[in-house]
Structure 1
Amino acid sequence: MNQNSNYGENKAHPSRYMPGLDGLRAIAVIGIIIYHLNKQWLTGGFLGVDTFFVISGYLITSLLLKEYEQTGIINLKNFWIRRIKRLLPAVLVLVSVVTLATLILKPAHIVDIKHDAWAAIFYVSNWWYIASDVNYFEQFAFMPLKHLWSLAIEEQFYIFFPIILITLLLTLKKYRNVALIFWIVSLISLLLMVIISQPNVGHSRVYFGTDTRLQTILLGVLFAFIWPPFKLKKNPAPILKHIIDGIGVFGLLSTCLLFFFVNDNSNWIYNGGFYLISVLALFIILSAVHPTGRFAKALGNPVFVYIGKRSYSLYLWHFPVISFVHSYFVDGQIPFYVYFIDIILTLLLAELSYRYVEQPFRKQGFKAFTFNRFKTKALIRTVVLLIFAVPTLIIFAGAFDSLGKDTTKHKKTTFNTEKADNKIVQPLPIDVSKLTGQKDSNSDTKVYTKIKPLLIGDSVMVDIGENFKTRVPKAKIDGKVGRNLYDVLPDAKSKYGEYNKKDDKVILELGTNGDFNEDQLNKLIGEFGKADIYLVNTRVPRNYESHVNKLMAQAAKKHKNVTLVDWHKRSEGHTEYFASDGIHLQQSGVEALSDEILKQLKDKK
């Protein structure tokens, strides 16, 4: 994330360096990295992004107010040049490396990555992902640049905020009135998030939106008016020092607890939660920027400062590294040594970026590059840049588009037999012995023409739809990507009301995309009356997996007409069944799950 450790950017008016803020950045970026390594290790680690937003709003506003007080104006040109020098070079290098790595290692994804790369370069990644209907929390697709959505929001803020700030300062004069306007806008942003978000649905629009996430940044802006870091007294009363330190400790402990206990399925964070969590970040900042506080000194320890100074580099590189490395393994079944590879590569690339891209360009600008053979470092830097830049431009020109598929236009999000054509599909021969590793005397490749089951599910149902239809031609299948169990409740009567008789068979494959409670499950079962219900449990590397599977097992014991299809047990140890996300299915997994459902249907007859 953005790192503004160069507080003394205005050389005529040097500012005080505050190591406590680098310490806070270190905690935030560590939380984010752990979350992306394995969501189950730190379910609320994504909240580190909001901490960065608050820091950015606070520090940028503090610097701009200081400049305004000393010069009577804000030099917008110099501000934007500093931001460009600080942020853009590292992003361009990242985009180039990721694009080339994709062409070499994942050529089928080159078109998608090229789209993401353009969005990243122009800092509109967040709106691009909203338009593409991307879910930040479900990392089912190979998207190594997806994390740049937050940098896009920050850059959009840097473009427009200084103009708005200086306009308000020159017209309203009083800080109190200017701060009031920013507070009102933050509440409007909060209100937009509450209105747009809906319980138990995808939150991508409100999570990615600049308008809905502005609330967090503006809290930092507002706090810069209330607690200006460059005006704080160095020697306040001892009791006040203790209070300031106590507030910081409370804020930090509370934030760390939230990192462990909040999860990305929590609806409350979209109904004021982000706002309250960001207030805790203000508590930490209050103590972290104090010139003589013990909490500030502890937070600004050398280790945290080292990490904090490189937080921008670490944020840039960790997600592409994890995306590439983990794509060769099955999520949820990743060997532990892989995480060490992730960390080592991230640290190495971040350090290279910090030392040889960010620092030279920030200090020297374009002078960091030259063809003068007597300036060895600058010459090497220039040659390396060209080695990456030239092929990247060729890729952007579309020279390798034929190798990839544009999945944003062709991605399959549903499988619904009601909408499909009525062509007769010849069944595919399935050898169950290849799936299980042993010959099963009961296995066959029979096509079941007498049963007419209803299958309702999520993206896994989309995966098996065509295969299952070949085995059971009269099956009615409704699969939809992103579907949760509670999404089916309103449709149970209106769409599937006829499936309620004793001889009817209903297969429910739900639970991949989020948790649900016992009442919701029982209500859904009840909607199908006396029909035989088959609950397909799940294998999903998320913290709700065990609870979902437990509820399904309990329902099978409680209801005579409910049978458990134990996909979790059937798929155990079979990494070949899954795509790298550990959820969606390869062809062998498609055949295995179809076979497991049919086994239960046959046993119940």
Structure 2
Amino acid sequence: MNTMITAPVSKRPHYSMRRIPGLDGLRAIAAGLVLVYHLIPGRAPLGYVGVDVFFVLSGFLITSLLLVSTLRHGSIRLGDFWARRFRRLFPAVLVATLGSAALAFFVGGDALVALGRQVVGSLTATYNWVEIAHDSSYFEEASPLLLTNMWSLAVEQQFYVVWPLVVAGLAFLGTRWRVGAALLIGSFSIYLHGLLATDNPTRAYMGTDTHLWGLMLGAGLAFALQHVVIGRDEPQRNPLSRAWAGAGWFAIIAIILGGLFLPDSGPMYPWGMVGASVLALLVIRTMLPDVQSGPAYALQKVLGSKVLTWLGVRSYGIYLWHWPLYVLGYYQFPFLNPYVAAIIIATLSIICADLSYRFVENPVRTMGVKGWLIHVRNRVAGFNPAQAITAVGVPLLVVSFAVTGIAIAPPVSSGQAAVEAGKNTQPIPPPDAGDHTPPPGNQTGDSNEGTDPSADPTGEAPGDVPAEEPATPTDDPGEPAPSAPEEPTEAPVEPTLDPTPEYEGTPASWDRVTIIGDSVTLASAYKLQEQMPGVTVDAAESRSIQVATDIISKYAANGTLGDYVVVSLATNGTIHESDITRLLEAIGPDRTLVLVTGFGPARASWIPEANEAIHKCARKHPDRIRVADWHDAIEEHPELLAGDSTHPGPAGADIFAATVRRTLDPNAS
């Protein structure tokens, strides 16, 4: 029996929601921005605003449907509403979740990390809160989780549960009060987001309460224009229709160009997301039936084109599939050209979404779950034995592979394990060296280029696991030092280095060497100390070149800066020649600067630029700069890196340390 919440109505004529052309096209554009943003690094820095466009659409459409129910039946039939939402959303989520988990079983390794809790969060519409509780980050790029994109689906699904109750409560108020209530909730959500963004950016971005503004803007529009959206007769033409049409054209162009070209730093977070939500609202307003001027009609025709409509209808499935496929490709083919990978992943996402739509989503939506199951049973009954076995066996295999993947999933990524190993063996830095990890939002160079644009809200650098305090072993002399990770049983790989330039001078002793690095250095800290006893290693996660001069200055101020300063900070963002010039100024004219090149997967598109700047400056200052070419040394041995293709395991750390040692002293054994 349906739960009914009644609204006061005197007449209950047949009301329906008018057809609004072009909204599927807007969905397609929003999905396209998200795909470009995720699949092609740096090509759509603000592309994640596509999610906010989806939120505005959902808030508008769901509120309109609730208003239709109230006007038609005199109540919001909660049971019917929730059942329709379940039929619309859950089948696609179930197929994408289990299908992705089954594929992850074959990829293995880091693709399986935390798979159990991800599947639970995905299937219970709580993914965002599950990951917040585990201190995860949607924006972590070095070791991305398989189902991270489910956070936004969880936000929407939670909205679908609570919002009907709110709409029913607001039914007794006038239009202005309802619009005001929606805007007040949205404004408070922005306020909460800003309050939490500095200290807990992941919580601010993924939280339902802190990312409600788009849903509320859409709801406010539905409240304000109920007479236009819902009714039996065509509405009168809006006298400002031409102005609205111009605003709509401006808005859709601004959404596309802003997502593709605006930076994802500074005021763009969170105001870029808020701005995109307002622009999406303008586009929706232009699509409504009372705006029928020539320019508006032209925009409706563009957004209502067959291609955009076809993609928009399947945009839900495309969004569900694209991220898991990207993650699987990331781990299986880390060095594949990003553009080639993007084409393959986008194509596979569209294929999977179309199959899901035609064989699962649409049939369940029209027949209901029970009707669809009966339909499937009848179809299978007409198959020959081989077809029937295949039809039943394939889904069972998918489930079994998914369950097995959950059972064997590692607790942490191999990259994180490598960093933790280095953490536990890193020597204690000198007094006042301290934690030099920069504040959130300033990890990756002057323009933040090279990061996953979603990473900017969190301030996490892409090449590292989430930022923490730089670990140093206890200084309690009574506590035994932790042991280094066990070496692999196979013979260690001897690094193949390019001929080392004939540098003049070598360290008088290793204690005259100061190494400043990021998590790659941190993962290699014990090997550096082993191969160069007495060397000072100051490494921390999520470091970039931007903090190097401050660290050097502190060592110089307390008299502990070595004669040779090694800087290994090319993992987390681009390095410019101006950055290196500042390093030379910071160490002074009597010291030698050793720059370590970076290495990472093809997605880390900033690393080649950083390496080029390093080599260029070394050629300009051959008497002051040496290059420890970690990139060339490890390029032939990617199997010695963790699953993120960035952090070295024990044998890889040997190569890292040997590369630095030979650059400092070419004659060292």
1:407 corresponds to:
412
Instruction: After superposition, give the CA deviation of every residue in 1:190-244 in whole Å (9 maximum; x if it has no partner).
Output: 122223223xx9843322222221122222222222344515965626x733322
Q: Which moved more, 1:402-411 or 1:515-524?
A: 515-524
Quote the residue 2:7 is aligned against: none
Would you say the 8 A contact 1:461–1:479 is kept in 2?
yes
SS at match of 1:45: coil
Report the Cα offset of residue 275 of structure 1: 1.1
Extract unaligned runs of 5+ from structure 1.
Answer: 1-9
Asked whether the 8 Å contact 2:515–2:537 carries over to 1, the reply is: yes
1:209 counterpart residue number: 207
- Structure 2 match to 1:583: 646
Kindly tell me: are residues 358 and 547 of structure 1, through their superposed partners in 2, closer, same or farther at Cα, counting changes over 3 Å? same
Secondary structure (helix, strand or coil) at the match of 2:594 reads strand
Worse-matched range after superposition: 420-429 or 579-588:
420-429
Segments of 5+ residues of structure 2 without an aligned counterpart are: 1-11, 429-471, 474-479
* 1:6 aligned residue: none
Task: Identify the residue that residue 599 of structure 1 maps to in structure 2.
Answer: 662
Using the alignment, how far apart are the partners of 2:547 and 2:201 within structure 1? Answer: 14
Identify if the C-alpha distance between structure 1 residues 181 and 91 changes in structure 2 by more than 3 Å, giving closer, same or farther. same
In structure 2, which of residues 51, 55, 58 is the aligned counterpart of residue 56 of structure 1? 58
The answer to whether residue 301 in structure 2 is matched with residue 297 in structure 1 is yes
Question: Any conservation in 2 of the 1:462–1:480 contact (CA below 8 Å)?
Answer: yes
SS in 1 for 2:495: helix
SS in 1 for 2:308: helix
Aligned length: 584
Match in the other structure for 1:478: 538
Q: Which residue number in structure 2 is paired with residue 164 of structure 1?
A: 166
Residue range with higher mean Cα deviation, 58-67 or 538-547 = 538-547
Q: Does the 8 A contact of 2:518 with 2:541 survive in 1? A: yes
Higher helix share: 1
Distance 1:31 1:11, change over 3 A: farther
The 1:263–1:137 alpha-carbon spacing in structure 2 relative to 1, beyond 3 Å, is: farther
1:250 aligns to 2:254 (yes or no):
no
> Counterparts of 1:117-516 in structure 2 under 5 Å?
117-170=119-172, 173-198=173-198, 203-228=201-226, 230=229, 236=237, 240-264=240-264, 266-290=265-289, 292=292, 293-294=296-297, 295-331=299-335, 333-334=336-337, 337-365=340-368, 366-370=370-374, 374-376=378-380, 384=391, 387-388=394-395, 392=399, 396=403, 403-407=408-412, 411=417, 413-414=419-420, 415=423, 416-418=426-428, 419-420=472-473, 422=481, 434-436=494-496, 450-486=510-546, 497-498=557-558, 501=561, 503-514=562-573
The answer on whether the counterparts of 1:251 and 1:283 sit within 8 Å (CA) in structure 2 is: yes
Task: Report the Cα distance in structure 2 between the residues aligned to 1:351 and 1:31, rounded to whole angstroms.
Answer: 19
Whole-angstrom distance in 2 between the partners of 1:329 and 1:99: 18
CA distance in 2, matches of 1:74, 1:215: 23
- How far does residue 363 in structure 1 lie from its aligned partner after superposition? 1.1
- The answer (yes or no) to whether the contact 2:566–2:596 under 8 Å persists in 1 is yes
Q: Which moved more, 1:526-535 or 1:114-123?
A: 526-535
Instruction: Give the Cα separation in 1 of the matches to 2:276 and 2:310.
Output: 25
1:361/1:533 CA distance change after superposition, 3 Å: same
Amino acid at match of 1:14: S
Alignment of 1:44-123 (within 5 A): 44-106=46-108, 109-110=111-112, 112-123=114-125
RMSD across aligned C-alpha pairs, in angstroms? 4.3
**What's the CA shift for 1:135?**
3.2
Return the alpha-carbon distance in structure 2 between the equivalents of residues 384 and 11 of structure 1: 47
The code of the aligned residue for 1:219 comes to L
Question: Aligned with 1:406: secondary structure?
Answer: coil
Which residue type is aligned with residue 174 of structure 1?
A: G
8 Å Cα contact 2:113-2:145 kept in structure 1: no
Deviation readout 1:526-572 (Å, 9 max, x if unpaired): 66566544333434534544665576568765898655545456667
Whole-Å separation in 1 of the counterparts to 2:177 and 2:662: 70
Q: TM-score, normalised by structure 1?
A: 0.82
**Aligned CA distance change for structure 1 residues 316 and 526 (closer, same or farther; 3 Å):** same
What letter is aligned with 2:56?
Answer: V
For 2:196 and 2:483, how far apart are their aligned partners in 1?
43
Structure 1 contact 21–289 (Cα < 8 Å) conserved: no
Tell me if the contact between 1:463 and 1:585 (Cα under 8 Å) persists in the aligned partners: yes
Please list the CA deviations of residues 73-98 of structure 1 after superposition, one character each: whole Å capped at 9, or x if unmatched. Answer: 22222111111111111111222222
TM-fit CA distance, 1:599: 3.1
User: Within 2, Cα distance between the matches of 1:522 and 1:206?
Assistant: 37
SS for the counterpart of 1:370 is: helix
In structure 1, what is the equivalent of residue 455 of structure 2?
Answer: none
- Report if aligned partners of 1:427, 1:447 keep a CA contact under 8 Å in 2: no
C-alpha change, 1:348 and 1:424, in structure 2 (3 Å) is closer
In structure 2, relative to structure 1, the CA distance for the partners of 1:402 and 1:138 (3 Å cut) is closer
Please tell me the residue identity of whatever aligns with 2:647.
Answer: H
The alpha-carbon deviation at position 454 of structure 1 amounts to 3.0
2:431 alignment counterpart: none
Query: Shift of residue 310 of structure 1?
Result: 0.5
SS in 2 for 1:477: strand
User: Secondary structure, in 3 states, of the residue corresponding to 2:186?
Assistant: helix
Answer with 301-310 or 282-291: which moved more.
Answer: 282-291
Cα separation, 2, equivalents of 1:522 and 1:383: 65
Distance 1:342 1:580, change over 3 A: farther
344-353 or 69-78: bigger deviation? 69-78
Corresponding position of 2:447: none
Per mean C-alpha deviation after superposition, the further-off stretch among 359-368 and 204-213 is 204-213
| Kept in 2: contact 1:500–1:527 (CA 8 A) | no
Report the equivalent of 2:435: none
Deviation at 1:121, TM superposition (A): 0.9
Deviation at 1:53, TM superposition (A): 1.1
CA offset digits 1:128-156 (Å, max 9, x no partner) = 22233333334322522111111111111
CA distance in structure 1 between the partners assigned to 2:493 and 2:377 by the alignment: 67
Amino acid at match of 1:84: F
8 Å contact from structure 1 (residues 330, 579) kept in 2: no
For 1:439 and 1:80, locate their aligned partners in 2 and report how far apart those are by CA, in whole Å.
68
In 2, Cα distance between the equivalents of 1:11 and 1:575? Answer: 69
TM-score by length of 2: 0.75
CA contact (8 A) 2:552 2:586 kept: yes
Percent identity over the alignment is 27
Is the 8 Å Cα contact of residues 135 and 204 (structure 1) preserved in structure 2? Answer: yes
Moved more, 65-74 or 43-52: 65-74
